[in-house]
Amino acid sequence: MGDSFGKLFAITTFGESHGPAVGVVIDGCPAGVALSEADIQAELDRRRPGQSLLTTQRKEADLARILSGVFEGKTTGTALAILVENDDQRSKDYTEMKELYRPSHADYTYQVKYGVRDWRGGGRASARETIARVAAGAVAKKILRQAHGVETLAWVSQVHTIRDDTLPQAVTSEAVEANPVRCPDPDAARLMAQRIEEARKQGDSVGGIVSARVAGCPPGVGEPVFDKLTADLAKGLMSIPAARGVEFGLGFGAVELTGTQHNDSFVMEGDRVRTATNRSGGIQGGISNGEDLLLRVAFKPTATINSPQDTVTLDGRKAQLKAKGRHDPCVLPRAVPIVEAMIHLVILDHLMRFAGRTLRG
Amino acid sequence: MGDSFGKLFAITTFGESHGPAVGVVIDGCPAGVALSEADIQAELDRRRPGQSLLTTQRKEADLARILSGVFEGKTTGTALAILVENDDQRSKDYTEMKELYRPSHADYTYQVKYGVRDWRGGGRASARETIARVAAGAVAKKILRQAHGVETLAWVSQVHTIRDDTLPQAVTSEAVEANPVRCPDPDAARLMAQRIEEARKQGDSVGGIVSARVAGCPPGVGEPVFDKLTADLAKGLMSIPAARGVEFGLGFGAVELTGTQHNDSFVMEGDRVRTATNRSGGIQGGISNGEDLLLRVAFKPTATINSPQDTVTLDGRKAQLKAKGRHDPCVLPRAVPIVEAMIHLVILDHLMRFAGRTLRG
Amino acid sequence: MGDSFGKLFAITTFGESHGPAVGVVIDGCPAGVALSEADIQAELDRRRPGQSLLTTQRKEADLARILSGVFEGKTTGTALAILVENDDQRSKDYTEMKELYRPSHADYTYQVKYGVRDWRGGGRASARETIARVAAGAVAKKILRQAHGVETLAWVSQVHTIRDDTLPQAVTSEAVEANPVRCPDPDAARLMAQRIEEARKQGDSVGGIVSARVAGCPPGVGEPVFDKLTADLAKGLMSIPAARGVEFGLGFGAVELTGTQHNDSFVMEGDRVRTATNRSGGIQGGISNGEDLLLRVAFKPTATINSPQDTVTLDGRKAQLKAKGRHDPCVLPRAVPIVEAMIHLVILDHLMRFAGRTLRG
Amino acid sequence: MGDSFGKLFAITTFGESHGPAVGVVIDGCPAGVALSEADIQAELDRRRPGQSLLTTQRKEADLARILSGVFEGKTTGTALAILVENDDQRSKDYTEMKELYRPSHADYTYQVKYGVRDWRGGGRASARETIARVAAGAVAKKILRQAHGVETLAWVSQVHTIRDDTLPQAVTSEAVEANPVRCPDPDAARLMAQRIEEARKQGDSVGGIVSARVAGCPPGVGEPVFDKLTADLAKGLMSIPAARGVEFGLGFGAVELTGTQHNDSFVMEGDRVRTATNRSGGIQGGISNGEDLLLRVAFKPTATINSPQDTVTLDGRKAQLKAKGRHDPCVLPRAVPIVEAMIHLVILDHLMRFAGRTLRG
């Protein structure tokens, strides 16, 4: 259970790290959208391992193949399936994990939940699962951009203790993609890259923060009560492997301001209602107010590390694990397109709900 | 849309601040659970306004009435409805808000979304909506306690800049309920109360952090991929009015540790698999591992304040607002039972999903 | 579980026959719809017992009270709750049923499912549950009529062996409401009334068929594959107590025609595509084609009869039951507004899904 | 939308007739079930075209490939994906349909709904879509059989005007599979085969009825109110292409009995509660009572026929269509495994919901 996400633009994903393939079915894609495999591939390539020395050295082509839902270059409105075959599977890198639980990984919890688990490369708990999210997100991104001019930009704003304090409104796509860390400030990016490389050499890992800004989200998106835009974004973002926290606008920082300091005054800009400041991160009462959406996601350091760790075996004996695979010492650079994908999926789903509500008496 | 929450223990809530009543329907409550209105009232009383000078001075009895789903003191397994009639409605306190948007409140976003809004006391966006959550949460709490020994405890760990650093495992229910702030450390509680009182006098407001610990959650609860326990808890918690961020285990703090520092080693305790530390907050790969669940929620300062604020009118003119109602200068003390309710609702729902999966071949 | 119905115009109902109240929460009602309690009452009055000698003689006022979601006479777009308090509850009529299972009623199946049951008047399995459907259907009806000119008309086309063969296109609302049976042909209606009265005198009951025609449903409503309009209507209609079968267009009669006899040729009517015949009942491939929707629902004879019947007790002894309550000897006349309600709920829900899909690239 | 079915054992299907592949993702499959591609292939082979002269002469191997969710021969509890690649695609057979609407097919309704359609072989509205249902149903069948001894048997009980009146309890799997019509009575089967062959020669088609019996369904399965077992079965069955009606127990025939004639008396059989008769078809109040489930589904004659038919073109001109493809003159024999698949999917889903409800206080 839990392999589906979204209500109107609803995706269902499948696939294990070392199984034949991973993929996604989109139920609810609007019809008539120009879409090609290249649109999807562009995003998959941003997520792909082996892009630089900073990420895992596994070579995976991750080629997207559309199996249904597109005819003569346009979406048909019926189920849209995308498949990515797996390759470069070195299951032997993982044979040690067959009998051991990797600390802070999903090995133990899957085993206790299901009584069985695909131990090869993390199975369903592998980060390869996110290929399906990114593929579906690429479709959502195209629709959002074409139909509404919604543009999402995510970037790495912290790696371990190194922060980039560039203001969200100053970040550009070009600056983010200009370096392998995906940090818009080149100096911070350089330091972050060094820190990641250090961690890799030491058989260790580091975490960090991905920040994001969404421009062009129209006001009125999000539902009252449970399906607030903050709530559904939080769910989507916290479902990304290794995510440990999420915050909107000033987030945890809002705690140390008073109401008079934190509230965003309303002002008129022509005939448009704007806020003078954007401490709310574009969402008030769970519904977008037309300002930029601002959010941040914290990722823990990668659980799989190439250093010895104490653990236990499936049959309850003490043991020591030293992982041998080619693991990301830091997931942050590759997390950027995944964060964007989840944001795209949530916003498009909510925009479609909003459209469905316009049937007035 | 968005008035429902949960998949198997599914609640649907209704009601505006100044309408006739608020309430909840629980679809999926297990049968045979001993349940009385007193069970629900106990939790509502913890959430009720007017408990102390720290909260709003509105007097609301908030009496729960069970309308269906209980027969001869036991749940029947069919839809369980709970109603709380509204009273002490001073709509006139809000007449000024009819034509104005309160900064950082939901007034503008509701108006732009629906083209109409119940402006009395925030309407559906009022914190009175949370009565329904707490009522449903009380039912979930009783089932969790009886059937599984799951015990949730939330408390105020920060108000504005005042922190209480009591370790989660040291917090007791008695300490939390011993003061009106619901902060387990009496010294911190006293300072927090002063700060809240200051804010009230100044027509200002303050935010803070609610922390929570769940004991007794069995391992295996939570689903892979999208319905991770972290993801569904994040959604539930971020749907609480004024929530701005949520984190699990070390949360944003995990960012500054390396993998070797952050990973929780596995150890055997008799024949039970435990972790030597609990930096993961009891959830790994989105599934509970049997350790205490640990999480924190950030709340912004209350948006409605009794100080003058710049805003605009419905017809687009500049204006100044000075709210006249009796508002909470700090939502934190009353947020504690709401946070607990959302945690109860998510965990029970997931426990029921897990039970449904045990039908094996 | 199963107390909710619909995806975008989603209703959740609650209430037992002899509990305090029955009601419904509508999640997803469009905003800005003019709606009063009188709109709802008009439909409840058509469903109400005691309208004539043909139905149960219980006197129930069934007064609708809107608890939320309407402000200043218009829907707000947030959860709309409607409550109907129960009265005239003669629980003592049912004390015999406390220990017995009524044949072909839900007594046994509820007991075995839940291990507990509200035996008073059928509890949740009572036909009083349908009050909530009719109340929600009244809201859907108003929106469908105002926003789309969709008009649904249902009528009794058979009672026991007496058939009315009036062609669907010739049936008028006036003819249906002109007699207590709700059969458009006055001669057939008279015979049906006699048959029902006979059954009542004999402590017996009779079943029948409700037919329905929906005019004005635009083409394109319904989804491919599982959520076909036929499929969702079938679910909604088969969920009505005592329903035993449902058919669309020629239904079971289509079986005895060949393809050349059954197919509906397409013809142009001005610039509109029409079918020359309507054997498909307005739905092809699960999607409306713009012609009238035509369907029929079979209802079994009422299970609760005032004749002695063999049964068993809760503790497994043979017994004989003779029900003492005031029961409908035939549910058909009162089933008419219930069938209409379910049709309204399904069509509005699907219209809203269709609207949500129009967000094109 | 509408490509998903089920709540706990939830399937999502995809694929067009002449696209690269069709497939299904099962979200919620219990873990630890022994499952191989052969289990799935056995059911696909029963559905496959070209089994006899009675069905379409297209040759499709329809080989099932499991892409995820099975490890070392057992289900893992995570998303289970099954893919069937398409082959033998003669798109040119359908080029005429590109510009025309086939009468009583989904061509017009898809075009008006989506503004675009894959006209090759019916696209998503093709019966090839049912491959995915049968594949998922094969998994459900195995679990139902192993975990509960639930056995479903469907058969053709009518083709055009030829009926087989074998009593449901007398039908055996051997008798059904003994002839290509899948009618348990060999004499009726011979006549049906002749009638189908006649229709084929005449470029015409015939419809019929599939009956089914489910043995071993435990009592208590099905939900009150909307998710009655009858209601969810009706939805599942009415979603099969060409289905026009469904009935349970005596169905439409129940109309002509009185309550005293129709009610099923309860009797004790040892310590088990049974009914003396089974006119209810094993479902009372929407919940199974432990008796055999009995139902019937009406299928219209195939819409695509090789006789000339009046229709119109996409640009609104009159036209005549004579289909050239190799079409089933009667879908009934191949509908048998599809009906079984839908029954399996509904019952397993409901059994899992029931299990999830056993968490008692």
Q: Confidence band (pLDDT; 50, 70, 90) for B359?
A: very low
pLDDT higher than 90, residue C60: no
Is this model's pTM higher than 0.95 or not?
Answer: yes
Which among D241, D268, D310 is the nearest to C316, CB-wise? D268
Q: Which residue has the tokens 């509908």?
A: D335
Best residue of A1, A162, A192, A297 to probe chain B, by most B CBs closer than 10 Å: A1
User: How does pLDDT run across A60-111, given as a tens digit for each residue?
Assistant: 789 999 999 999 999 999 999 999 999 866 666 667 778 999 999 999 999 9
Distance (Å) from the alpha carbon of D78 to chain B's nearest alpha carbon: 7
Q: Hey, are the CB atoms on C225 and D2 less than 8 Å from each other?
A: yes
Sign of CA dihedral C232, C234, C235, C240: positive
Among residues B211, B212, B253, the alpha carbon closest in space to that of A300 is found at B253
**pLDDT of the residue at A354:** 82
Residues of chain B contacting A256 with CB distance shorter than 8 Å: 160-161, 207
**pLDDT of the residue at D55:** 64
pLDDT higher than 90, residue B141: yes
Query: pLDDT averaged over chain D?
Result: 93
B328 or A205: which carries more pLDDT confidence?
A: A205
pLDDT higher than 90, residue C210: yes
User: Do C228 and D240 contact (CB within 8 A), yes or no?
Assistant: no
* Residue A246 within a domain: yes
Least confident of A151-160, A188-197, B158-167, D145-154: D145-154
User: How does pLDDT run across B42-90, given as a tens digit for each residue?
Assistant: 999 999 876 776 666 566 789 999 999 999 999 999 999 999 999 866 6
DSSP 8-state code for residue C258 = B
Share of chain C above pLDDT 90, in %: 84
* Residue C246 within a domain: yes
- For C177, the domain range is 4-356
Sign of CA dihedral D163, D167, D168, D174: negative
Share of chain A above pLDDT 90, in %: 85
Least confident of C51-60, C305-314, D8-17, D336-345: C51-60
User: How does pLDDT run across B192-250, given as a tens digit for each residue?
Assistant: 999 999 999 999 999 999 999 999 999 999 999 999 999 999 999 999 999 999 999 99
* Residue C361 within a domain: no
Residues of chain B contacting D361 with CB distance shorter than 8 Å: 30, 32-35, 75, 142-143, 146-147
Q: Confidence band (pLDDT; 50, 70, 90) for D361?
A: very low
Residues of chain D contacting C293 with CB distance shorter than 8 Å: none
Averaged pLDDT for residues B275-281: 98
**pLDDT of the residue at D96:** 73
Share of chain D above pLDDT 70, in %: 93
**pLDDT of the residue at A115:** 93
Which among C160, C268, C287 is the nearest to D113, CB-wise? C287
User: How does pLDDT run across A4-56, given as a tens digit for each residue?
Assistant: 999 999 999 999 999 999 999 999 999 999 999 999 999 999 998 767 766 66
Query: pLDDT averaged over chain B?
Result: 93
* Residue A260 within a domain: yes
User: How does pLDDT run across C36-51, given as a tens digit for each residue?
Assistant: 999 999 999 999 876 7
CATH number at residue C66: 3.60.150.10
Q: Confidence band (pLDDT; 50, 70, 90) for D357?
A: low
In whole angstroms, what is the distance from residue C5 CA to residue B354 CA?
24
Residues of chain C contacting D226 with CB distance shorter than 8 Å: 2-5, 235-236, 239
Which among B353, B355, B361 is the nearest to D142, CB-wise? B361
Using DSSP's 3-state secondary structure scheme, residue D23 falls into strand
Find the closest chain C residue to A78 by CA distance: C224
Q: Which chains have 3 or more CB–CB distances shorter than 8 Å to chain A?
A: B, C, D
**pLDDT of the residue at A328:** 85
pLDDT higher than 60, residue B9: yes
**pLDDT of the residue at A97:** 77
Which among D1, D15, D16 is the nearest to A27, CB-wise? D1
Structural domain total, chain C = 1
**pLDDT of the residue at B322:** 78
Q: Hey, are the CB atoms on D78 and A28 less than 8 Å from each other?
A: no
Q: Which chains have 3 or more CB–CB distances shorter than 8 Å to chain B?
A: A, C, D
Least confident of B90-99, B331-340, D43-52: B90-99
In whole angstroms, what is the distance from residue A128 CA to residue A123 CA?
9
Instruction: Tell me how many degrees the CA angle D108-D25-D286 measures, rounded to the nearest 5.
Output: 80
Residues of C with CB under 8 A from a CB of A: 7-8, 28, 30-35, 75, 77-79, 142-143, 146-148, 224-225, 348, 351-353, 355-361
Distance (Å) from the alpha carbon of B352 to chain A's nearest alpha carbon: 12
* Residue C178 within a domain: yes
Share of chain B above pLDDT 70, in %: 93
**pLDDT of the residue at B56:** 63
Least confident of B133-147, C1-15, C311-325: C311-325
User: Do A300 and A331 contact (CB within 8 A), yes or no?
Assistant: no
The first and second tokens of residue D309, run together, are 């038919």
In whole angstroms, what is the distance from residue B124 CA to residue D107 CA?
44
User: How does pLDDT run across C220-277, given as a tens digit for each residue?
Assistant: 999 999 999 999 999 999 999 999 999 999 999 999 999 999 999 999 999 999 999 9
Query: pLDDT averaged over chain A?
Result: 93
Q: Hey, are the CB atoms on D30 and B359 less than 8 Å from each other?
A: yes
ipTM above 0.90, yes or no: yes
**pLDDT of the residue at C1:** 87
**For every residue of chain B, which 3-state class applies, written as one string?**
CCCEECCCCEEEEECCCCCCEEEEEEECCCCCCECCHHHHHHHHHHHCCCCCCCCCCCCCCCCEEEEECEECCEECCCCEEEEEECCCCCHHHHHHHHCECCCCCCHHHHHHHHCCCCCHHHHHHCHHHHHHHHHHHHHHHHHHHHHHCCEEEEEEEEECCEECCCCHHHCCHHHHHCCCCCCCCHHHHHHHHHHHHHHHHCCCCECEEEEEEEECCCCCCCCCHHHCHHHHHHHHHHCCCCEEEEEECCHHHHHHCEHHHHCCCEEEECCEEEECCCCCCCEECCEECCCCEEEEEEECCCCCCCCCEEEEECCCCEEEECCCCCCCCCCHHHHHHHHHHHHHHHHHHHHHHHHHCCCCC
Residues of chain C contacting B25 with CB distance shorter than 8 Å: 3, 12-14, 25
